[in-house]
Amino acid sequence: MISRLRASGWRGQITGPHGSGKSTLLAALVPALREAGRRVELITLHDGQRRLPLDLVSTPELDAAAMIVVDGYEQLSRWSRLRLRRLCTRRGWGLLVTAHADVGLPQLFQTKVTDQLAAQIIRRLQQPASAGGSLRDALSASAATADCITYDEITAILARNGGNMRETLFTLYDLYELRRRRTDSQEYLTLTRRVSEGAKRVRA
């Protein structure tokens, strides 16, 4: 990815749905960017932040090797985006951003959580030492002998969360904990029924 960024003039975008791993990938790239000789200025934006939280113009340590990295670029207003891009061009800075959709920069990577990827993550969490066999069989076998999560439950919950892996993990953790406690509470029965109905719809 660093080679691709270099080839595109140190400009790029990482796009993908909410909770699909954009920020995680960006964090993994920062050390590699520094090793490549770039001076990284990481900016994380949250909902409603229409402007950059710092004045890049008056930041003296930003030279021609600077790499402006913006997590949540789409939070900026259109005017703020335009100003940032012009500033980066004028100063010779690189610009790498994350966004939910195309923002007009060279595409570096598009994140997407598939059923298979989600199942691999859950399998590692449930069976870190297991190997061999299909994911569906391995997950179903573990669920038959413990309070674990099945493949169909993973796909149903992932679909219900619109491919958001972070929210899917939260939901699966809640389900796992409820099963582990072996509770007969209404909360357990309601959540289990919702997951079961979702799994049936996925199989249909």
Say what the pLDDT of residue 174 is.
85
Distance in angstroms (rounded) separating the CA atoms of residues 163 and 155: 9
Q: Choose the final residue of a domain: 89, 110, 131.
A: 110
130 in the same domain as 103: no
pLDDT of residue 187: 61
Whether 101 and 158 share a structural domain: no
Neighbours of 186 (CB within 10 A): 8
Residue numbers of the domain that contains 178: 115-203
Which CATH number does the domain housing residue 77 bear? 3.40.50.300
Are 119 and 167 part of one and the same domain?
yes
Give me the tens of pLDDT residue by residue for the chain, a chain 204 residues long.
Answer: 999 999 999 999 999 988 888 998 999 999 999 999 999 999 999 888 888 888 888 787 889 899 999 999 999 999 999 999 999 999 999 999 999 999 999 999 999 888 888 888 888 776 654 445 555 554 555 554 445 778 888 889 988 888 888 888 888 888 877 777 765 555 656 666 676 676 666 555
Q: Which helix (H) or strand (E) holds 66?
A: strand 66-71
Cα–Cα dist 21/28, whole Å: 11
Report the C-alpha gap between 85 and 13 in whole angstroms: 13
Per the structure, the count of domains in the chain is: 2
pLDDT for res 45: 93
Rounded to whole angstroms, how far apart are CA atoms 29 and 72? Answer: 16
Helices (H), 52-150: 78-91, 115-126, 135-145
pTM of the model: 0.68
- Residues 46 and 79 grouped into a single domain: yes
Q: Does 86 share its domain with 121?
A: no
Question: Do residues 97 and 164 share a domain?
Answer: no
